[in-house]
Amino acid sequence: MKDEETIRSEFPILDKEVNGKSLVYFDNAATTQKPKAVINRISNFLSEENANIHRGVHHLSMNATKAYDEARSCVAKFINAESDNEIIFVRGATEAINLVANSFGKNLLDTGDEILVTEMEHHANIVPWQLIANKTGAKVIPIAITDDGEIDLKDFEAKINERTKMAAFVHVSNALGTVNPAKEMIHKLKSKNIPVLLDGAQAVGHQAVNVQELGCDFYVFSSHKLFGPDGMGVLYGKHNLLSKMPPYQGGGDMIEVVSFEGTTFREPPERFEAGTPNISGAVGLKEAINYVNELGWENIEKIESSLLNYATEKLSSIPSLKIIGKAKRKVPVLSFTMESAHPHDVATILDSKGIAVRAGHHCAQPLMKRLGVSATTRASMSFYNKVDEIDQLDEALKYVSKIFGD
């Protein structure tokens, strides 16, 4: 196992100074930092290997095609998909959900049908369903959460009925850090033949994901939250569903034959990858996956759970601070409010001390409403964070408390 210093030395940005202070990066739920291996791999691809894929018979194009296909195989193994053809490369989790809502949802849904989500969804897993509901006459039904920020499983069971045609919910909450009992929920939904999409945007950077064990029909995530490049993401879909879904976008590479009389389409995954994809993004994502695989999930989870426990203990001891989200199973995300200081003021003061956190509604306005807050400050950690960075956060928050007279 690599030691803390080695891990940190592999992320060049962590050496940076911000506002004259060493950077403390606690905004990992927004995006993760990139290891040198990923940066170098993308740089090398662009300087030595760049070509468009699939269409060329020349050396560079064939090699770029091979690299792109290998990235797909790597992702399939990473989440234990049954085959590479179940992996569609997209721009990110948002695009993946829009693809499923439009291609799968549009054919599936009808007037009066219900799409189950939860009160803790990111807007990316609410708005695409609302848009398709508006077109089809279906309704989006939220499952309640508890005050601790866990899914209310009684409400979950009560909301399933004969009108439920689709369920889409978050694996790990971006605003609260809650790890949902996805496997058990999926099992219940599948026993009623309800298709399930799991939003794994916040899960993939913290824990191993096994889509076959989870039993979901679709799983989505973004590469940039997994130490890879942005503008790159993954839609996993069960092959028997993908093969029946119509294209989401039309263009080059997704067709068999085009004529003005009509066009036929390729099988998945190509059917859903119209146009030139993010080739360097795929190559970079593969490198990011290699990086976390080498570090090992057991090691990552061990580091992160001790960071979470330490930070929870420290922040709980500040009298004016209230932690929002106290689920039993969490990734290292701490959302909080302070008695007198607005979350934006807290984040601005922390920034002056070199500490990067996020403040706002975290693209989860219905969740904020449910919890009775307009915004929170969120410190989200990753395996490259350190205990003394939490001490710096604690000190800085005590300073905020003091100047706001709490």
Ligand X SMILES: Cc1ncc(COP(=O)(O)O)c(C=O)c1O
Q: Which residues are catalytic?
A: 363
The residue (of 93 and 292) whose beta carbon lies closer to ligand X is: 93
Indicate whether 368 belongs to the interface with ligand X (CB under 6 A).
no
Among 176, 201, 289, 338, which residue interacts with ligand X (rule: CB under 6 A)? 201
Distance of CA 311 to the CA centre of its chain: 22
Indicate whether 90 belongs to the interface with ligand X (CB under 6 A).
no
Q: Which helix (H) or strand (E) holds 235?
A: strand 233-237
Indicate whether 359 belongs to the interface with ligand X (CB under 6 A).
no
DSSP letter assigned to residue 246: P
Indicate whether 327 belongs to the interface with ligand X (CB under 6 A).
no
Sketch the per residue contact string, 125 through 154, with ligand X: x for CB under 6 A, - otherwise: x-----------------------------
The residue (of 94 and 337) whose beta carbon lies closer to ligand X is: 94
Nearest distance from C-beta of residue 221 to ligand X, angstroms: 8
Indicate whether 202 belongs to the interface with ligand X (CB under 6 A).
yes
The residue (of 125 and 382) whose beta carbon lies closer to ligand X is: 125
Q: Which helix (H) or strand (E) holds 280?
A: helix 279-295
Positions in 206-225 near ligand X (CB under 6 A): 222
Indicate whether 27 belongs to the interface with ligand X (CB under 6 A).
no
| Nearest residue to 87 (alpha-carbon basis) of 200, 220, 183, 204 | 220
Indicate whether 93 belongs to the interface with ligand X (CB under 6 A).
yes
Q: Put the strands of the sheet holding 87-90 in their side by side order.
A: 87-90, 233-237, 218-222, 196-199, 164-170, 114-118, 139-143
Tell me whether residue 406 is exposed, middle or buried, using C-beta atoms within 10 angstroms of its C-beta: 0 to 12, 13 to 18, 19 or more.
middle
Nearest distance from C-beta of residue 273 to ligand X, angstroms: 17
Spatial CB neighbours of 59, under 8 Å, sequence gap ≥ 6: none
Among 10, 150, 199, 287, which residue interacts with ligand X (rule: CB under 6 A)? 199
Task: Specify the pairing of strand 139-143 against strand 87-90.
Answer: unpaired
* CA end-to-end distance (rounded Å), the chain: 43
Using the rule CB under 6 A, give the single segment among 50-58, 198-206, 300-308, 341-349 that binds ligand X: 198-206
Indicate whether 234 belongs to the interface with ligand X (CB under 6 A).
no
Among 38, 87, 92, 99, which residue interacts with ligand X (rule: CB under 6 A)? 92
Using the rule CB under 6 A, give the single segment among 89-97, 160-168, 241-249, 302-310 that binds ligand X: 89-97
Q: Check: CB of residue 198 under 8 Å from CB of residue 186.
A: yes
Nearest distance from C-beta of residue 123 to ligand X, angstroms: 8
DSSP per residue over 318-360, as a string? Answer: -TTEEEE---SSB-SEEEEEESSS-HHHHHHHHHHTTEE-EEE
Residues in binding contact with ligand X, number by CB under 6 A? 12
Indicate whether 28 belongs to the interface with ligand X (CB under 6 A).
no
Nearest distance from C-beta of residue 317 to ligand X, angstroms: 28
Indicate whether 94 belongs to the interface with ligand X (CB under 6 A).
yes
Spatial distance between the Cα atoms of 135 and 110, rounded to a whole number of angstroms: 9
The residue (of 174 and 278) whose beta carbon lies closer to ligand X is: 174
Contacts 24+ apart (CB under 8 A), 81-85: 81/211, 81/212, 81/236, 82/212, 82/238, 82/239, 83/239, 84/269, 85/239, 85/242, 85/267, 85/268, 85/269
Sketch the per residue contact string, 95 through 124, with ligand X: x for CB under 6 A, - otherwise: ---------------------------x-x
Query: To 10 degrees, what angle do helices 36-44 and 279-295 make?
Result: 150
Among 98, 118, 136, 174, which residue interacts with ligand X (rule: CB under 6 A)? 174
Query: To 10 degrees, what angle do helices 387-403 and 297-316 make?
Result: 20
Indicate whether 229 belongs to the interface with ligand X (CB under 6 A).
no
Nearest distance from C-beta of residue 170 to ligand X, angstroms: 5
Binding residues vs ligand X (CB under 6 A): 92-94, 122, 124-125, 170, 174, 199, 201-202, 222
